[in-house]
């Protein structure tokens, strides 16, 4: 089966989707952005109002800068006569707005940094829309991406450049600050897996041997995947970041990945103390010996959730600041404390909509590579959300994953906006293939 | 090839959507279903913070003297602690560091939600109506506590005084101590806590209940109990020749006599002159199994059922007495034994109480805001450990150990009262001064107070500790 056949459009047109044809004016996007702007302004006014009972210039200035930023991105897309999806960007912008409001609420001294990162993320978004010119060209350099990804992933392990923060060695020193290379790695790996699977998918799935109901793919083609698994396990051991490892491997080949990860996780649990401690904390955080020790953060997070109730304490009226490192690890619980179950559900719904739009784009994509790429990108955003929200709500052990777009952190924000741009690019390719206006 | 990929993408999306649904249900559990219970959890900082505008219950001594109160300050109510010598017992209620001591053990009672008062809990939980907080009353007696503080006089160690009939703690001192007011002061708390955590002498540790020391000669009552109840005749004289070894297999290992004794000893002499070699021979005669059994019955190796954290001590590293030299050494309170001052006080309380061990407790009751009793804290006795007869025989010998001719524990005498007690000089690490012990009770015929004293690294050992015990007993007996 060759590429041109793979590029054939889906047999049946998608039955679901908001606005199949992209108008040049991007009116849908604009009208959604109006709501995003309102969200940013109201959020800042509420938080600053609750804290100081006066409206300082910061409460207007920051949302104003943010609104100018998203509007200029919108105008940029129009100017490019861009025909891609109009819903994803407003969702990402809405989540970013919530993130900025929460940084103001939880760690206002970090607000300026986060605002700067938001502007950089906007720039990265625009750059990804412009380059590369041909998206499918990405597939040709798959081994480069894999190599780069692995290099970035192990970079924190090296002396001098690596850095350990809060017990996890997942940072690389850059100038005065530090970045989390993992964030870029996840993009590179999705691209690699999409390209790799496009090429070998047939061989991998057309298998003679089976173990029970599971087909065993031919060994040589499994090597890169198993090698990735091995590296993931090594990274888990040395970088003490279970979260990144979970995402690393599940980045695309979900089922096989999950099985291997469970095996690896079980072995790691048996062998490594910090994995056991995480699981132990998850199982009994309220016990006397843990509630002021390793379980402290989780227990404080659960108190915050409990204080939320149905409609929340109101922005600025809860006590989420009792949770250590709340602005990066526990933003979900902080948001739920002040906006209640209703707010938490709304937030989860935004991610679900993101997933839905991303998967619609994947289904409509003209080539296998683009399909796998869009599905992989949407998948990691959804998985990351589930892993951290599940950790915050004590459904699964807590990991160091951050809530996409919302949690404080520059590396994550920049790469997630690049991810949105890639999804938009895929949708644009389909729209052009379809010969829309 | 496209079709199966589309199918895969659809099922992946469906699986993720289901995961989102499950996650939402999980979040609804914490925000709605478990909300009431967690919102009222005493460790929830929102409740401690709420005491900014609503006072937390007071902690009082047995005569109603305040030990911890909430006082109105400029920015709401501030917790204030009156007696630094009770810092480890009363504990602290800190927004930053959580709760400790009585503040933790009776956390619900101190916010007006005592478990014995389900209606208040229900009203707080479902109607949002909070009762004004009540108070927790401790068995501590200001007068005895003060005497114990003065007796120890800043020397590292601990003193426990308790009522052998009820198990109520009358005094509890642990030196060094700290100022809990610093721990709850937002401006000083972090520096104060860092200092406390780094202090080599562990001021946060309640040595009275959590300190673990070799008991030395004070442990001989356990050996004697095991012997008396196995039919050993206390009037039988045993030959003591310093230094002692049972046989040549001990090599160069000997049991030493504190008074380099040579002569015939019965059990009273053994207690009066604190003769290690006598008790080593008794222990070897009855055997390690019997000795281990009685140590266990007296609670060595099990944490006392105190309402605050308590150490469990140990009989030996392995929990067994499986070597003759270990049996001999354990018989006079050395070997690998470790006990807390509270455990020693409970052993002597058992003897004072006709062989029945009381259950120790710091608090004696919980009252509501109007002063009505919500709950009495009066745990029942733990059961008969030794027979009343054995207890009586031991009491007589312990009186001799204080008042008999040449008695080691003469310093513990209280004029006009028969004191029963025993000193101990517990060897620690080589090159370090031994710990000095005194454990005893009075009046011997109808005991109302048991005192355990330990002075860490006191060169004179038990001789240092005995008069301190007397001081505390005098205060308790009003002499």
> Mean of the pLDDT values across residues A433-437?
61
Q: How many CA atoms lie within 13 A of B447 on its CB side?
A: 34
In this predicted structure, what is the pLDDT of residue B415?
92
Element (H, E) at A333: helix A331-364
For residue B334, the tally of other CB atoms under 10 A from its CB is: 21
Q: Is B25 on the interface with A (CB under 8 A)?
A: no
Query: Which residues from B are below 8 Å from A291, CB to CB?
Result: 43, 98
Q: Among A6, A379, A382, whose Cβ lies nearest the Cβ of B1?
A: A6
Model confidence at A81: pLDDT above 90:
no
Q: Among A309, A362, A383, whose Cβ lies nearest the Cβ of B35?
A: A309
Q: How far apart are CA B1 and CA A6, in angstroms?
A: 6
Are residues B279 and B328 in contact, defined by beta-carbon separation less than 8 angstroms? no
Contact B10 A308 (CB under 8 A): no
DSSP conformation letters of B187-226: TTHHHHHHHHHH-TT-TTS-HHHH--B--GGGGHHHHHHH
In this predicted structure, what is the pLDDT of residue B4?
67
Model confidence at B63: pLDDT above 90:
yes
Q: How far apart are CA A196 and CA A224, in angstroms?
A: 9
Query: Which residues from B are below 8 Å from A386, CB to CB?
Result: 16, 19-20, 23
pLDDT band at B125 (very low <50, low <70, confident <90, very high): low
Pairing of strands B363-367, B238-241: unpaired
Contact A340 B24 (CB under 8 A): no
In this predicted structure, what is the pLDDT of residue B371?
85
> Which carries the bigger pLDDT value, residue B61 or residue A191?
B61
CA-nearest of A168, A57, A86, A246 to A409 is A168
Query: Which residues from B are below 8 Å from A307, CB to CB?
Result: 35, 39, 46
Model confidence at A192: pLDDT above 60:
yes
Contact A305 B3 (CB under 8 A): no
Nearest-CA distance B2 → chain A (Å)? 6
Q: Is B11 on the interface with A (CB under 8 A)?
A: no
Query: Which residues from A are below 8 Å from B36, CB to CB?
Result: 306
Nearest-CA distance A318 → chain B (Å)? 9
Contact B39 A307 (CB under 8 A): yes
Pairing of strands B420-426, B435-442: antiparallel
A·B CB contacts under 8 A: 126
In this predicted structure, what is the pLDDT of residue B401?
94
Distances (CA, A) of A33 to A28, A127, A259: 9, 21, 41
Least confident range of A15-19, A251-255, B417-421: A15-19
In this predicted structure, what is the pLDDT of residue A196?
77
pLDDT band at B10 (very low <50, low <70, confident <90, very high): confident
Model confidence at A331: pLDDT above 90:
yes
Are residues B450 and B162 in contact, defined by beta-carbon separation less than 8 angstroms? yes
pLDDT, tens only, B176-187: 999 999 998 888
In this predicted structure, what is the pLDDT of residue A437?
41
> Mean of the pLDDT values across residues B189-202?
89
In this predicted structure, what is the pLDDT of residue A390?
92
Model confidence at A59: pLDDT above 90:
no
pLDDT, tens only, A2-21: 444 444 444 444 444 444 44
Q: Among B9, B23, B29, whose Cβ lies nearest the Cβ of A390?
A: B23
Model confidence at A288: pLDDT above 90:
no
Q: Is A158 on the interface with B (CB under 8 A)?
A: no
Model confidence at A263: pLDDT above 60:
yes
In this predicted structure, what is the pLDDT of residue B155?
94
ipTM, two decimals: 0.82
DSSP structure class, residue A400: S
Query: Which residues from A are below 8 Å from B22, CB to CB?
Result: 395
Q: Is B1 on the interface with A (CB under 8 A)?
A: yes
> Which carries the bigger pLDDT value, residue B119 or residue B311?
B311
Mean pLDDT of chain B: 90
Element (H, E) at A416: helix A410-433
Contact A368 B10 (CB under 8 A): no
Q: Among A10, A341, A375, whose Cβ lies nearest the Cβ of B32?
A: A341
pLDDT, tens only, A337-386: 999 999 999 999 999 999 999 999 999 998 888 988 899 899 889 988 99
pLDDT, tens only, B196-254: 988 999 999 999 999 999 999 999 999 999 999 999 999 999 999 989 998 888 888 99
Q: Is A359 on the interface with B (CB under 8 A)?
A: yes
Q: Is A251 on the interface with B (CB under 8 A)?
A: no
Considering A53-57, A327-331, B123-127, the range whose residues carry the highest mean pLDDT is: A327-331
Please name the residue ranges forming H helices in A240-293: 242-250, 254-271, 273-283, 288-291
Distances (CA, A) of A226 to A148, A233, A249, B222: 18, 11, 10, 65
Contact B31 A254 (CB under 8 A): no
Nearest-CA distance B307 → chain A (Å)? 14
Contact A395 B43 (CB under 8 A): no
Model confidence at B114: pLDDT above 70:
yes
Q: How far apart are CA A397 and CA A382, in angstroms?
A: 17
In this predicted structure, what is the pLDDT of residue A259?
55
The alpha carbon dihedral of B241, B331, B419, B140 has a sign of: positive
Q: Is B186 on the interface with A (CB under 8 A)?
A: no
Mutate to test the interface with B, among A200, A305, A376, A396 (most CBs of B within 10 A): A305
Q: Among B10, B26, B41, whose Cβ lies nearest the Cβ of A393?
A: B26
pLDDT band at A219 (very low <50, low <70, confident <90, very high): low
> Which carries the bigger pLDDT value, residue B327 or residue A410?
B327
Are residues A399 and A391 in contact, defined by beta-carbon separation less than 8 angstroms? yes
pLDDT band at A231 (very low <50, low <70, confident <90, very high): low
Q: Is A362 on the interface with B (CB under 8 A)?
A: yes
pLDDT band at A397 (very low <50, low <70, confident <90, very high): confident
> Which carries the bigger pLDDT value, residue A313 or residue A373?
A373
In this predicted structure, what is the pLDDT of residue A14?
44
Q: Among B30, B41, B44, whose Cβ lies nearest the Cβ of A393?
A: B30
Buried b or exposed e, range B293-313, using 16+ CB within 10 angstroms: bbbebbbbbebbebbbbbbbb
In this predicted structure, what is the pLDDT of residue B2?
40
Nearest CA in chain A to B6: A363
Model confidence at A171: pLDDT above 80:
no
Contact A355 B17 (CB under 8 A): yes
Query: Which residues from B are below 8 Å from A341, CB to CB?
Result: 27-28, 31-32
Cβ under 8 Å to B: A residues 278-297: 291-292
Q: Give percent of chain A with pLDDT exceeding 90.
A: 31
Question: Would you call A310 helix, strand, or coil by DSSP?
Answer: coil
**Phi, psi (deg, nearest 5) at residue B72:** -70, 120
The residue whose two tokens read 């943010």 is A66
Model confidence at A253: pLDDT above 70:
no
Q: Is A368 on the interface with B (CB under 8 A)?
A: yes
């Amino acid at each position: 089966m060759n590429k041109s056949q793979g590029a054939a459009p889906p047999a049946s047109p998608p039955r679901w989707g908001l606005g199949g044809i992209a108008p040049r004016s991007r009116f849908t996007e604009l009208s959604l952005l109006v709501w995003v702007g309102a969200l940013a302004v109201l959020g800042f006014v509420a938080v600053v109002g609750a804290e100081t009972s006066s409206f300082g210039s910061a409460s207007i200035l920051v949302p104003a800068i943010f609104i100018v930023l998203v509007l200029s991105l919108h105008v940029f897309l129009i100017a490019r006569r861009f025909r891609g999806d109009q819903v994803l960007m407003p969702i990402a912008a809405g989540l970013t707005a919530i993130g900025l409001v929460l940084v103001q609420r939880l760690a206002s001294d970090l607000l300026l940094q986060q605002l700067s990162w938001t502007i950089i993320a906007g720039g990265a978004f625009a750059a990804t829309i412009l380059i590369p010119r041909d998206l499918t060209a990405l597939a040709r350099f798959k081994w480069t991406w894999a190599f780069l990804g692995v290099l970035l992933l192990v970079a924190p392990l090296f002396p001098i450049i690596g850095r350990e923060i809060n017990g996890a060695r997942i940072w690389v020193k850059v100038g005065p600050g530090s970045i989390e290379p993992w964030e870029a790695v996840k993009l590179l790996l999705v691209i690699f897996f999409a390209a790799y699977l496009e090429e070998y998918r047939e061989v991998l799935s057309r298998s003679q041997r089976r173990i029970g109901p599971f087909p065993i793919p031919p060994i040589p083609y499994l090597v890169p995947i198993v090698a990735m698994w091995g590296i993931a396990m090594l990274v888990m051991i040395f970088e003490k970041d279970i979260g990144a490892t979970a995402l690393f491997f599940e980045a695309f080949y979900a089922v096989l990945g999950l099985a291997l990860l469970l095996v690896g996780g079980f072995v790691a649990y048996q062998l490594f103390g910090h994995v056991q401690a995480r699981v132990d904390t998850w199982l009994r955080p309220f016990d006397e010996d843990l509630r002021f020790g390793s379980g402290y953060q989780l227990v404080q997070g659960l108190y915050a959730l409990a204080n939320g109730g149905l409609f929340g304490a109101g922005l600025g009226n809860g006590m989420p600041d009792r949770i250590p490192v709340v602005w990066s690890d526990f933003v979900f619980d902080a948001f739920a404390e002040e906006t209640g179950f209703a707010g938490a559900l709304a937030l989860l719904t935004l991610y679900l909509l993101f997933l839905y739009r991303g998967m619609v784009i994947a289904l409509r994509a003209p080539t296998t590579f683009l399909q796998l790429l869009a599905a992989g990108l949407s998948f990691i955003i959804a998985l990351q959300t589930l892993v951290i929200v599940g950790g915050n709500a004590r459904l699964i052990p807590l990991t160091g994953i951050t809530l996409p777009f919302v949690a404080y952190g520059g590396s994550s924000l920049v790469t997630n906006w690049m991810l949105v741009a890639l999804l938009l690019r895929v949708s644009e390719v389909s729209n052009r293939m379809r010969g829309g206006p | 090839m496209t079709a199966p990929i589309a199918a895969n993408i659809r099922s992946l999306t469906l699986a993720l959507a289901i995961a989102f649904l499950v996650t939402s249900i999980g979040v609804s559990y914490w925000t709605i279903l478990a909300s009431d219970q967690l919102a009222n959890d005493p460790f929830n900082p929102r409740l401690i913070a709420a005491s900014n505008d609503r006072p937390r219950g007071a902690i009082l001594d047995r005569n109603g003297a305040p030990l911890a109160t909430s006082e109105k300050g400029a920015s709401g109510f501030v917790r204030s602690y009156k007696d630094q010598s009770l810092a480890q017992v009363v504990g602290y209620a800190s927004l930053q560091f959580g709760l400790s001591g009585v503040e933790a053990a009776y956390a619900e009672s101190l916010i007006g939600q005592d478990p014995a008062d389900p209606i208040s809990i229900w009203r707080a939980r479902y109607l949002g109506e909070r009762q004004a907080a009540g108070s927790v009353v401790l068995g501590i007696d200001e007068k005895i506590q003060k005497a114990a503080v003065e007796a120890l006089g800043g020397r590292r160690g601990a003193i426990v005084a308790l009522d052998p009939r009820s198990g109520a703690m009358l005094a509890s001192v642990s030196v060094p101590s700290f100022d809990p007011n610093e721990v709850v002061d937002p401006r000083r708390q972090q520096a104060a806590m860092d200092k406390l955590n780094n202090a080599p002498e562990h001021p946060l540790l309640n040595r009275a209940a959590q300190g673990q020391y070799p008991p030395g000669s004070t442990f001989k009552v356990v050996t004697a109990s095991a012997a008396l109840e196995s039919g050993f005749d206390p009037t039988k004289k045993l030959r003591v020749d310093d230094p002692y070894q049972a046989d040549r297999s001990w090599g160069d290992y000997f049991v030493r006599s504190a008074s380099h004794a040579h002569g015939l000893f019965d059990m009273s002499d053994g207690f009066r002159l604190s003769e290690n070699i006598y008790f080593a021979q008794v222990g070897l005669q009855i055997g390690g199994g019997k000795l281990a059994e009685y140590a266990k019955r007296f609670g060595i190796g099990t944490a006392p059922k105190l309402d605050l954290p308590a150490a469990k001590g140990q009989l030996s590293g392995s929990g067994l007495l499986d070597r003759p030299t270990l049996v001999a050494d354990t018989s006079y309170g050395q070997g690998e034994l470790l006990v807390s001052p509270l455990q020693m006080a409970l052993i002597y309380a058992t003897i004072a109480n006709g062989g029945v061990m009381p259950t120790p407790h710091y608090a004696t009751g919980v009252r509501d805001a109007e002063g009505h009793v919500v709950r009495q804290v009066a745990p029942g006795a733990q059961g008969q450990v030794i027979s009343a007869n054995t207890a009586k025989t031991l009491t007589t010998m312990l009186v001799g150990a204080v008042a008999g001719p040449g008695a080691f524990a003469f310093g513990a005498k209280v004029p006009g009262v028969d004191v029963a007690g025993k000193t101990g000089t517990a060897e620690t690490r080589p090159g370090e001064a031994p710990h000095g012990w005194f454990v005893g009770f009075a009046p011997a015929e109808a005991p109302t107070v048991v005192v355990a004293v330990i002075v860490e690294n006191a060169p004179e050992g038990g001789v240092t500790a005995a008069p301190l015990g007397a001081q505390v007993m005098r205060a308790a007996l009003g002499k």
